[in-house]
């Protein structure tokens, strides 16, 4: 066995792939959607809806539509359209169509008119605060009983530009006596003067979330709507539109709230902070954006597995970086080359030998990835981390990994052979770098920086995820012209 198939002995990975629960009414394929607001790129929180929807579409076959919900010009970030799609691509999400709500206004107008004509909506010129107060008290506002013909006239006047901002809006009736205040009548269309990044000033009358979503979900043939629990009340409101129009309803699934600690996620905050130069950009490794995770060496497969594992139940959960990192480690461990990195390095001259040679595999389980060789001659000096040096008492023996055994003599290291038996006598294995190493700076997710020396070979793996032994997995980002390496910490 060992000679025939050694890989079977080494890599018996526990491949327990947990399946998402089955979807109702999905036997004949599904149509699902991702409906991001293009106010910024995706962050770790958004990846749940992306992965879950993608997983189901892949499983049952069908179509995944990306629908940019860009109906509020002030919050639209023009670059976000592209960034979101790049994030999805990186995540391995297969979408079949991309549509922008900002280009579908004529459709929303058509349905607004139908709703008004049928008496299911009204044109309201109440001051918004007063209107809300009436709703709280389950009282109708004076416009709620306006005749459809009058409403239609007002609607036409609105479209023709006959009103100013905030002067009038179109409201969809639900049930003014509904026990749940979150569900009573909602504004469906309103005027916006700010130009839209995509359509400019072509339209002035904008739909609001619940209205455009209900219409689009139906028109685009959605069979399943899988979104967060925070939309529970929105679903109830949207169902009123379905019922007014006599549309069949998709299957609605609401997964629980995810609380993500220790991570900056607020698009608005990030945007402001980038402007102030506090972050280098949307992919600053301190952020929880998808691009930041990518930059840090988090594998898309780890994120996918994480959400698959969590599933789509309605329980509120805490996001666990620890669990994500464990999944990430599983994935990257196999390909990450092992290299030496010495933090807070201190030089130590070597005595007792003129020539030293080190040869070690780049990956302990994968000899095919090759070896790295180090040759040193003459007045040899190596660098060790202060942490190891503090532990080592004078006269004790250190095993410099893949190099040799050394006795501590003051600030010098005396070569005493290369026999691994010293390990059995309690010699400690430490990591080291030679004179041709590179200054390296590792940026940690918390914003701190760890500086040290990385061995020469590191330079050949720029752009890759590697393991700095006894330190952790890092993504080697770049090297400046003077040879300083910048790396980002992924996980231990």
Partner RNA sequence: GCUCCCGUAGUGUAGUGGCCAAUCAUGAAGCCCUCUCGAGGCUUCGACGCGGAUUCGAAUUCCGCCGGGAGCACCA
Applying the rule CB under 7 A, the residues between 221 and 280 that interact with RNA are: 229-234, 254, 256-257, 259
Strands of 412-415's sheet in order across: 381-385, 345-351, 412-415, 404-409, 397-400, 428-430
CB atoms inside a 10 Å sphere around CB 148? 16
Sort 226 into a burial class: Cβ within 10 Å, 0-12 / 13-18 / 19+: buried
Backbone angles phi, psi at 346, to 5 degrees: -130, 135
Shorter beta-carbon distance to RNA: residue 262 or 322: 322
Size of the site for RNA (CB under 7 A): 84
Shorter beta-carbon distance to RNA: residue 284 or 307: 307
Comparing CA positions, the residue from 487, 480, 37, 40 lying closest to residue 289 is 40
In a 3-state reduction of DSSP, which class is residue 380? coil
- Using CB under 7 A, pick the residue from 5, 16, 275, 276 that binds RNA: 16
Candidates 153-161, 243-251, 400-408, 443-451 — which segment interacts with RNA by CB under 7 A?
400-408
Sort 7 into a burial class: Cβ within 10 Å, 0-12 / 13-18 / 19+: exposed
Contacts of 3 (CB under 8 A, 6+ apart): none
Comparing CA positions, the residue from 474, 360, 348 lying closest to residue 414 is 348
Q: Least separation, in Å, of the C-beta of 481 and RNA? A: 31
Interface with RNA includes 317 (CB under 7 A)?
yes
Interface with RNA includes 37 (CB under 7 A)?
yes
Candidates 8-16, 81-89, 148-156, 289-297 — which segment interacts with RNA by CB under 7 A?
8-16
Please, what is the end-to-end C-alpha distance for the chain in angstroms? 33
* Interaction residues for RNA, span 38-77 (CB under 7 A): 69, 71-72, 75
Shorter beta-carbon distance to RNA: residue 37 or 291: 37
Q: Least separation, in Å, of the C-beta of 115 and RNA? A: 16
Q: Least separation, in Å, of the C-beta of 16 and RNA? A: 5
* Interaction residues for RNA, span 433-492 (CB under 7 A): 467, 469-470, 492
Shorter beta-carbon distance to RNA: residue 101 or 284: 101
CB atoms inside a 10 Å sphere around CB 478? 10
Q: Least separation, in Å, of the C-beta of 277 and RNA? A: 27
Q: Least separation, in Å, of the C-beta of 329 and RNA? A: 5
- Using CB under 7 A, pick the residue from 103, 194, 330, 344 that binds RNA: 330
- Using CB under 7 A, pick the residue from 136, 193, 354, 381 that binds RNA: 136
Shorter beta-carbon distance to RNA: residue 133 or 156: 133
Q: Round to whole Å and give the CA distance between 327 and 331.
A: 7
Residue 273 DSSP symbol: H
Distances (CA, A) of 185 to 210, 211, 217, 276, 448: 11, 12, 20, 41, 50
* Interaction residues for RNA, span 137-196 (CB under 7 A): 165-169, 179-184, 187, 190-191
Q: Least separation, in Å, of the C-beta of 103 and RNA? A: 14
Interface with RNA includes 21 (CB under 7 A)?
yes
* Interaction residues for RNA, span 76-115 (CB under 7 A): none
- What DSSP line would sit under 54-90, residue for residue? HHHHHHH-EEEEEEE----GGG--TTHHHHHHHHHHH
- Using CB under 7 A, pick the residue from 195, 364, 447, 483 that binds RNA: 364
């Amino acid at each position: 066995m060992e000679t025939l198939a050694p890989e079977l002995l080494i890599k018996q990975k526990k491949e327990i792939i947990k399946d998402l629960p089955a979807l109702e009414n999905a036997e004949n394929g599904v149509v699902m959607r991702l409906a991001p607001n293009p106010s910024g790129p995706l962050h770790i929180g958004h990846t749940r809806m992306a992965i879950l929807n993608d997983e189901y579409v892949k499983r049952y076959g069908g179509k995944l539509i990306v629908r940019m919900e860009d109906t509020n010009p002030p919050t639209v970030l023009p670059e976000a359209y592209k960034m979101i799609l790049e994030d999805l691509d990186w995540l391995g999400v297969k979408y079949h169509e991309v549509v922008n709500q900002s280009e579908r206004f004529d459709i929303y107008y058509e349905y607004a008119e139908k709703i008004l004509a049928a008496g299911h909506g009204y044109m309201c010129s109440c001051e918004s605060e007063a209107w809300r107060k009436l709703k709280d008290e389950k009282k109708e506002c004076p416009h709620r009983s306006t005749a459809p013909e009058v409403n239609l006239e007002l609607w036409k006047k609105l479209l023709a530009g006959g009103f100013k901002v905030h002067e009038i809006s179109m409201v969809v009736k639900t049930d003014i006596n509904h026990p749940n205040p979150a569900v009573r009548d909602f504004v469906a269309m309103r005027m916006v003067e700010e130009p839209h990044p995509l359509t400019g000033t072509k339209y002035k009358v904008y739909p609001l979330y619940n209205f455009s979503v209900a219409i689009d979900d139906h028109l685009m043939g959605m069979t399943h709507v899988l979104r967060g629990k925070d939309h529970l009340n929105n679903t109830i409101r949207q169902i009123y539109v379905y019922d007014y129009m006599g549309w069949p309803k998709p299957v609605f699934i609401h997964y629980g709230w995810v609380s993500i600690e220790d991570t900056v996620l607020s698009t608005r905050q990030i945007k402001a902070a980038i402007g102030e130069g506090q972050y280098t950009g949307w992919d600053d490794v301190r952020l929880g954006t998808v691009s930041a995770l990518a930059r840090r060496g988090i594998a898309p497969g780890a994120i996918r597995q994480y959400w698959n594992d969590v599933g789509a139940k309605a329980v509120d959960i805490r996001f666990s970086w620890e669990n994500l990192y464990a999944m990430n480690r599983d994935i990257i461990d196999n390909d990450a080359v092992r290299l030496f990195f010495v933090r807070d390095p201190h030089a130590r001259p070597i005595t007792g030998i003129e020539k030293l040679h080190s040869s070690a595999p780049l990956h302990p389980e994968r000899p095919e990835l090759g070896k790295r060789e180090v040759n040193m001659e003459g007045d040899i000096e190596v660098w060790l981390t202060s942490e190891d040096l503090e532990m080592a008492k004078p006269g004790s023996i250190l095993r410099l990994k893949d190099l040799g055994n050394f006795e501590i003599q003051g600030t010098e290291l005396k070569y005493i052979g290369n026999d691994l038996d010293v390990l059995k006598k309690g010699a400690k294995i430490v990591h080291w770098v030679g004179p041709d190493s590179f200054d390296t700076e590792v940026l940690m997710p918390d914003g701190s920086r760890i500086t040290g020396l990385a061995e020469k070979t590191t330079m050949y793996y720029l752009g890759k995820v590697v393991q700095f032994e006894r330190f952790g997995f890092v993504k080697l980002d770049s090297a400046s012209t003077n040879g300083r390496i910048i790396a980002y910490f992924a996980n231990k």
